Structure 1
Amino acid sequence: MSGRKGNNEGVDEGGREMLLLVKGAQQVVRVAGAGERVKLGASMGDLAIISATQHDGVSIAVQQDGKIAWVGPDSEVGAKFPGARWGRVVEACGRAVVPGLVDAHTHPVWAGDRVHEFALKVAGASYLEVHEAGGGINYTVEQTRAASEDHLLNLLLPRLTRMATAGTTLAECKSGYGLEVETELKMLRVLERARPLAPLTISSTFCGAHSVPKGLSAEAATRLVVEQQLPAVVEARDKGQVAVDSIDVFCESGVFNVAQTRTILEAGRRHGLRLNFHADELTPLAGAEMGASLGAEAMSHLEEISEEGVRAMAKAGSVAVLLPTTALVLRLPLPPARAMIQAGVPVALGSDFNPNAFCLSMPLVMHLACVMMRLSPNEALTAATLHAAHALGKAHQHGSIEPGKMADLVIIDAPRWDHLVYQLGGNDHVITHVIRAGKVIHERHN
């Protein structure tokens, strides 16, 4: 092959092999311009849309390495890629294309559902009341500790497939239902085994401080995380047995207090892990202020964040990962999303998929963010793509449709992209194709 390689302009001189061509789109919603990793304030609503003209659709060309080579008018494809041999051509047929969705907060590795708790919650039992009665996280810990690695993998893969079918192409996946070395490592190994099998990209987070094990004080649990669990995880990482990007702590009243959370996060930082933790969910503890002081890359929940916490996060550049499904299920106050955006905090979204909030659909999360938290549809899309990727430290590769980034794409069965968030549920009818790294991983067959 004589064509130039690595050319982001997509000019091809020799008819090289190309992985994919998506053509005939009515809208290509790039979300970000060249090099943008975060969009603050009003810019969050600017989606950098390329629209078709009366006579010309929009194309996306993808290289063999799965990265976007070029985005532009259908009429210019021949000149940009003369004689190119396309591995596959997808006819968008006047539809809209958005970046693959990014789920910035999930707990997908576990055994034993908690359907028996649903009636208790509906009857008014609080999260901590269920937890103190032996339910909640501790119940899932018992079931997950008893499950084999193979069983956990067989439970995980269908969940990831359902996420991908609803448009998710990158998901943060936490451990945290082990609370001791053996099971935490087992969960991380399951995520590692899932990487080549799953239809989406996985970012792993170590969450050994998800709860205080039965019979231990929070102080003793803190020592175990720092002195036993974390060193074992880091050793497995350094040996190439697992890949771990971040560390998480459930900073909450009755779980790990602010000082204990700081101790664990600082230990994770010393080992090169990103800080991405639960803060100010049920109780206003000033966890956000503490996280900002450490330069935490991301904090989740934040239903009880203070005005000082919002300002601290904006100053530190910490991403606020908001989880509307959890606020809905637990009947929590809503985080101040509008105040965060106005203050310059990067706002992202996650499903918080877990046995307590069983949601695998980011379009549903986006809809709830609009209805409950007053995000505009444009802001919700930025939050579920570019900013969610930024929360995971992956916005250089994911979260927008730009040359040089991975070709993670969702094709919407409508000429306007916002049908994805406008329609409540039924994503199997709204989405025609989900593409990850230039390969079609889901296609609707009429």
Structure 2
Amino acid sequence: MSLLVKNASQVVVVCSKMQKFLKSQDIAEQFIVLENTSVAIDHSGLISQIGPLQEIISSTPESDFEKVIDATDKCVIPGMVDGHTHAVWAGDRVHEFALKLKGASYMEIHKAGGGIGFTVDKTRAASEEVLLDLYLQRLKLMLRNGTTLVESKSGYGLDAQTELKMLKVIEKAKLLQPIDISSTFCGAHSKPKGMDEICATKDVLENQIPAVLDAIKNGEISVDSIDVFCEKGVFETESSKQILLAGKEKGMMINFHAEELNYIGGVEMGVSIGATAISHLEEISDEGIQHMASSNAVAVILPTTAHILKLKHPPVKKMLEEGVIVALGTDFNPNAYCVSMLTVMNLACIMFRMSMEEALVASTLNAAASVGKSDMHGSIEVGKWGDLVLIDAPRWEHVIYQMNASEIISHVIKKGQVVVSK
């Protein structure tokens, strides 16, 4: 199918030279918004032309397109990219939200058997079919909010059997709905009940990773990245390094949690072993910022978590000023129930003083870079996938300005196919 989106008031192409990411200074100099512009997508789902309508139809008459959308008085932005989610799980943690409101900390709930451990029990008990149904419902909500590429982790199994069950659910979902999914193995999300750090690390290295690799070899799953909750009292720096390197040696990108609750040097370790992305970073050090700025490791910032857990805000402004590549993610999970990158952008601008341009780049091109997919995702450029979000508003900034901006999304287009239409 070929598609023409014509006469948009604004088209936020983000960049025009196939950049893999944009740092803050690049955004100030290179961020591109075109006015009175049209976008053509070919039969293969790739963007074929961007420009004035007359220029496009001079080579391809409007009648030759199978579908035409009149975007007069609308704006077009790239499909949103969610750089960090835990979207496969059963049960909920509503009762824990009440405890947090009374002052209980994340680690207090965790030590009392709640948190990740509570969700692990529910997820282990759920069938693959139940988990798939729940996951597809969540992906549908994400799509309605403009997300067209999502990073999705396992991690509520903590044993080989359940981690594989989760990864199989992710794999099946890739074929059953439109959103592109980058899958991440996160067997080291927490220490299983009854295991200390040494035993948990050994289990990941000797049982879980081999089981995942066998499933990959057999064509049951595909896994892009490996993740660890690198945290004091969970998987500390040396254990995290062993697990991450074991995944990297088998071709997985390193994309992990670090410095969320305590500073333990996880960032410095991650940069030293070639991490593609590092998430959270509420407690990152000045040295850690310098290490990330001197590398291409992407900082994936999660405003919902800092907001819900009342954590110290990560020093995002300093990261941007120092030249760190900054991306955003919802951290969608039972503890931070948010499916909307639109909400995340609003929070990032208010909480972390990001500009709206920085927030959009962090939610498109840079988030795609955090999962190694910015060659085809994250900007509106000829040769990239035709992933577009049409906004029923006079200026693109309304997707951030309006706190419930999903209401103004008129269309979501995935690889040239209209997958949401109001």
Quick one: distance in 1 between partners of 2:266 and 2:57? 55
Answering whether residue 326 of structure 2 is matched by residue 326 of structure 1, we say no
Look up the equivalent residue of 1:441 and give its one-letter code: V
Quick one: distance in 1 between partners of 2:220 and 2:315? 40
Deviations 1:57-94 (A, max 9, x none): x1110011101001000111221214762121111122
- Among candidates 8, 15, 26, match of residue 9 of structure 2: 26
Deviations 1:249-278 (A, max 9, x none): 000111100000000001011000000000
- Among candidates 405, 418, 422, match of residue 440 of structure 1: 418
Quick one: distance in 1 between partners of 2:341 and 2:173? 20
- Among candidates 12, 15, 22, match of residue 39 of structure 1: 22
Q: Is 1:435–1:441's contact at 8 Å kept on the other side of the alignment?
A: yes
Report how far residue 235 of structure 1 moved.
1.5
Please give the secondary structure, in 2, of the residue aligned with 1:250: strand
Segment of structure 1 superposing worse, 389-398 or 233-242: 233-242
Quick one: distance in 2 between partners of 1:40 and 1:384? 13
Residue equivalent to 2:315: 336
Q: Is 1:293–1:316's contact at 8 Å kept on the other side of the alignment?
A: no
Q: How do 1:22-421 residues align onto structure 2 when only pairs under 5 Å count?
A: 22-45=5-28, 46-52=30-36, 58-82=37-61, 85-421=64-400
Please give the secondary structure, in 2, of the residue aligned with 1:353: coil
Look up the equivalent residue of 2:414 and give its one-letter code: R
Q: Is 2:327–2:363's contact at 8 Å kept on the other side of the alignment?
A: yes
Unpaired runs of at least 5, structure 1: 1-17, 53-57
For the aligned residues, what is the CA RMSD? 1.0
Quick one: distance in 1 between partners of 2:406 and 2:18? 32
Residue 120 and residue 50 in structure 1: after superposition, are their counterparts in 2 closer, same or farther (change >3 A)? same
Quick one: distance in 1 between partners of 2:407 and 2:68? 22
Quick one: distance in 2 between partners of 1:47 and 1:440? 26
Quick one: distance in 1 between partners of 2:17 and 2:218? 36
Report how far residue 237 of structure 1 moved.
1.2
Quick one: distance in 1 between partners of 2:264 and 2:69? 51
Deviations 1:210-268 (A, max 9, x none): 00000001111101101110111112112211010000000011110000000000101
Quick one: distance in 1 between partners of 2:377 and 2:20? 10
Q: Is 2:178–2:419's contact at 8 Å kept on the other side of the alignment?
A: yes
Q: Is 2:279–2:299's contact at 8 Å kept on the other side of the alignment?
A: yes
Q: List structure 1 segments (4+ residues) > 3 angstroms apart after TM superposition.
A: none
Look up the equivalent residue of 1:428 and give its one-letter code: S
Please give the secondary structure, in 1, of the residue aligned with 2:175: coil
Segment of structure 1 superposing worse, 74-83 or 324-333: 74-83
Q: Is 1:29–1:401's contact at 8 Å kept on the other side of the alignment?
A: yes
Q: Is 2:25–2:323's contact at 8 Å kept on the other side of the alignment?
A: no
Quick one: distance in 2 between partners of 1:71 and 1:158? 33
Deviations 1:309-330 (A, max 9, x none): 0001111210000000000000
Look up the equivalent residue of 2:32 and give its one-letter code: A
Quick one: distance in 1 between partners of 2:87 and 2:391? 26
TM-score computed with the length of structure 1 as normaliser: 0.93
Look up the equivalent residue of 1:438 and give its one-letter code: G
Deviations 1:375-410 (A, max 9, x none): 000000000000000000000010000000001100
Please give the secondary structure, in 1, of the residue aligned with 2:230: coil
Segment of structure 1 superposing worse, 37-46 or 115-124: 37-46
Quick one: distance in 1 between partners of 2:416 and 2:24? 32
Q: Is 1:313–1:319's contact at 8 Å kept on the other side of the alignment?
A: yes
Q: Is 1:364–1:424's contact at 8 Å kept on the other side of the alignment?
A: yes
Look up the equivalent residue of 1:341 and give its one-letter code: L
Unpaired runs of at least 5, structure 2: none
Residue equivalent to 1:431: 409
Q: Is 2:20–2:369's contact at 8 Å kept on the other side of the alignment?
A: yes
| Aligned residue pairs, count | 421
Quick one: distance in 2 between partners of 1:84 and 1:233? 49
Deviations 1:152-203 (A, max 9, x none): 0111111000001001000000000000000000000001111111231111
